[in-house]
Each structure stands twice: as structure tokens, then as C-alpha cells.
A and B are shown apart, each in its own frame.
Chain A
């Protein structure tokens, strides 16, 4: 790889748009994605999958252009030889065994029979499926099916690995192992681009993010900036209690609390600039007021909240 190639973005989209009839998939998207590991963030319906399908060459732009590794990806074998794609859809050839599946796709990528077999086994080893290599895919659990999809995406050692919601369906152990695998791929020099709507999954891997919202580019940069945005706004918590009204009265005077809303269904929504004080004081207050807390959760952890902040509105 020349120096120019190594500094060039792996993906370059310019005024990219893709429509499904009247529905907007992505619109006026201009972004350069550098080498390395990049998270594609956005809530459901943000256009992440459409963008990744355009990037992988499964779809063509309705307008604008996209280049992957320096060339348009649609029906372009030279790009596909250097790209690994893990689709979101849970679709496999269920009559094949895991090793047959990966080996067949490797052979389509141009590997000789023996080399394809050993590369397939190595890829299955990396996703911890080598023990199940001779089992039919139709009998695999959701998590195993996800891992075999990842295996086929990395088996031919592509320069760019594109993964659409790769952690969906994985249990915590497999999730941890998969994140570790992505780190290894990055350490080996591959660029990894993956989509998710869960913020902490991105944080576990990279600081570089591209944020999409309603098909448009919202931001591109470091994840710390997003966290800082969150910290600039009051944190909101939902509390369900036996006596919400009484608990609300007690919480109003607490330091840092900006507002307390009692919803018609009895749900209490508390906004505070000092979440640590609320978290520490709440058990005592609830106990003294005999309010009986049934549930407590943060309303700000979801990406929707981040996007609402970025769009300039309150969540």
C-alpha cells in the first residue's frame, strides 16, 4: 500500500442519496470515512443499513456517488475482492454446514480448495465456532448464525470489513469475544466499519463515529464529544413507585433537580443536573416517604436522547 493509499479514506460518499419510492433511505450524505475502526451510529430507521448496502455494492445510489477503496462498489469484483460484508439479515443456506458455507464463499473469492478449507477453519476458530463446523446452519442458534456471518466476512482477510449490527443476538460472552475480534482485525491492519444503535458498543471499540439521523449525516467525529453533549444537559430518570405523588413532593427540593413530572400513568420523570446526588439520596427518600419504588431507569442512555440533543431539542 502506498502512502497516498494509506491516507486516503476507505469510503468517500458525495451527495449520496438512496430512495425507496417515496421513502428516504439516505439523503445528501457527504462523508469521508478514514482507515481504522469506525462506528456508524443511529437510531432505528436512521439509514445505517441503507448506507452500508450502498457501501457494500448491494444497492446503487439514487443520486450522488460513493467510492469504496477508490472505486464505485456496485457490481465491481475488484472492490468485492477487498471487502468483507456481514449483512444484518439472518439468512444463511441452512442445508450447508458452517465450514461448507465459509469455504464455498472463500472459493468464490478465488481461493484454491485446500487454502479455502484452512482459511474457513481459521475464520470459524476466530468466531469460536470450530467445534460446530460440521453442523448444519439450520440447526444453529441466533448467536451462532450471527458469528458464522461474521466468519464469512473476515475469512478472506479483506482490507475493509463492513458489519451491519454485528453484535445483535450475541450473548454477553460472545459479544465480548466479538469485540475483541474486531480489535484484533484492526490491529492486523484491516479497517472495520460497523453499525449499531447502542452507544456503549461503539465506545468499547473506537472513538471515531459517524452519526446518522433520518437518512442524513448528523455528525462525524469523536465519541467523547457526544458524551460531553450529554453531560451539558440534565439527566432524566423514570421512576415507577407505589406512591408517586408523595415521592415527587420529596424529590422537588433535592439539590440539582430541575423538574419532576408526574405522568398520567403514575410514571415519575425526574430531570437533574446532579445525578450522583439523586442516585445517592433516592433510596433514603423513598424509604422515608414509604413510596415503594418498583422500577428506576435512565432515559438518557439511548441514542435517541443523544440525537435529540444534537438536533437541538429536549429529549
Chain B
């Protein structure tokens, strides 16, 4: 009985999930997502004046959303297909009677699930570490922690899908992905004006702006930026995921991989 797209994807995904737990790359991505929590804990211990809500919004915005989410997604995203090519194990998958798109889907979904779990842990630890800050304010509210978690999860899904597709299309996906992360996501998203709406980062921040409370107003430029409406931002991110998956699957169905002996 030949497996269809969904059956093969599910089988690959279940195997891939157990392999991820043994993968150093996956744990490195988790480490990146936990890093803001560690920084929060160090800052809270070292500085008497920093407040819980100030620390969580500042690190959530700049460190988690701005650095950890794009880099952790890059690390696991390019590995979805490119790692199999680098390891020369893709032969075994390509020469089985399953739709090639299932290789992308079956390896992308576990990567995103892993990163979601890491994001949830990272956000919870960040908030917990920030709560130990000794400055006085109202504490970390749901209006701070839930938008942060939402944006982080949406971010890893979008970036991972994008980088997974990149891994199918280009040979040196990690280098291209790093260049994209720093030049487009890192630089363009912080420029004033409408250009920043070309970045995923802007739409993630729009999710925070659309669902967060006033605590986020203390971020520089937050109040003066024209954020996308919540629905539009979510729609753009969903479309990016969809287009990346379709483009990646289309290319994978046609691509030949020249693997050295």
C-alpha cells in the first residue's frame, strides 16, 4: 500500500521528532531561545532599578523576537532538507515511493513543534526571571507574556518555513539565511518608515502591538510606529508560511541532488 502525502508526512514527522530529541542542532536552537531568560536573570540580579515588566518587554522585544527567534529558526529551518543533503542521507528518502513534498512537510512540522515547545519554555523562563527584578511596578501581566508567546511562536513557524524552503532552493542555505536575517530582518525592520513592513519582524511586532498592553509602550519607537492591524499581520505571516511550503515542495519535486560518494 503506497503512502499518500499526509500518511508519509505523518510517518516522517513521528520519526523526525524522536531524532530531534537526539540532535545537537535542535538543542542548540533551544539554547538560543532560552538565552534571553538567562540574560534576564543576570540583569535582574545585577541591577536594583530594573522592573519586572520593563525587563520582560525589553528582552522579549529585542532579544527573544529580534535575535533568538530568527536565529533558532534559521538553525532548524535550513536543516529540514539541507541537512539531509549535507549528510547525503536524502537518497534514502527520495528513492522511496512517497510524494517528495512529504519530505518537506514531514520534517518541517516536527522542527516547528520543537521550536514551539522551546519558545513556550523560553518565554515562561524569561517572565519568571524578569519577575525576580527588584524595581517596583505592576509586575509582568498577561498582556505582556501572552503577546510575546504568540509572536515568538508565529515567528518560529514563519522563519522556519522560509528557511526550509531556502534549503531546497539554494546550495548554501545557512549563509544565505544568515545574510537575510541580518540585512533584511535585523536592519530593515529597525529603519523608520514603511520599508519595515517588508520584514517578518514587523508583522511579529504588529501581533504584539495588536494584543499587548501598555507595558510595551516603553519600547523605543513603539508608539510612533504604524503597526499592521492584528488580522492583517496574522494573514501575512500565514501567507508567508503557505507560499514557502508550496515553493519548497514544488522545487523539491523537481530538484536533483548531486551527492558526492
- A residues apposed to B, CB below 8 Å: 20, 49, 56-60, 74-75, 77-78, 80-81, 83, 85, 87-89, 91-93, 95-96, 100, 104-105, 107-110, 112, 152
Contact = CB atoms under 8 A, between A and B. Distances in A.
Contact of B11 (A57, A74, A91, A107): A107
A78 B22 contact: no
Given A81-B2, A93-B89, A108 B19 contact: no
A48 to B, nearest CB: 10
B176 interface: no
Nearest to A165: B261
B254 A75 contact: yes
A108 B8 contact: yes
B256 A108 contact: no
Contacts of B8: 108
Given A91-B89, A110-B1, A80 B96 contact: yes
Interface in B3-26: 3, 8, 11-12, 15, 19, 22-23
B239 to A, nearest CB: 27
A80 B256 contact: no
A77 B97 contact: yes
Contact of B256 (A58, A77, A87, A88): A58
Contacts of A96: 19
B98 A89 contact: no
25 contacts: A20-B258, A56-B95, A57-B94, A58-B256, A58-B259, A59-B258, A75-B100, A77-B2, A77-B96, A78-B97, A80-B95, A81-B2, A87-B91, A89-B259, A91-B89, A95-B19, A95-B22, A95-B23, A96-B19, A105-B96, A107-B3, A107-B11, A108-B11, A110-B1, A110-B3
A89 B261 contact: yes
A168 B98 CA distance: 29
Contacts of B12: 108
B95 A89 contact: no
A96 B22 CA distance: 10
A80 B97 contact: yes
B260 interface: yes
Given A80-B97, A95-B23, A104-B15, A75 B253 contact: yes
B261 A93 contact: no
Nearest to B86: A91
B13 to A, nearest CB: 12
A158 to B, nearest CB: 10
B258 A110 contact: no
Given A91-B87, A110-B97, A105 B256 contact: no
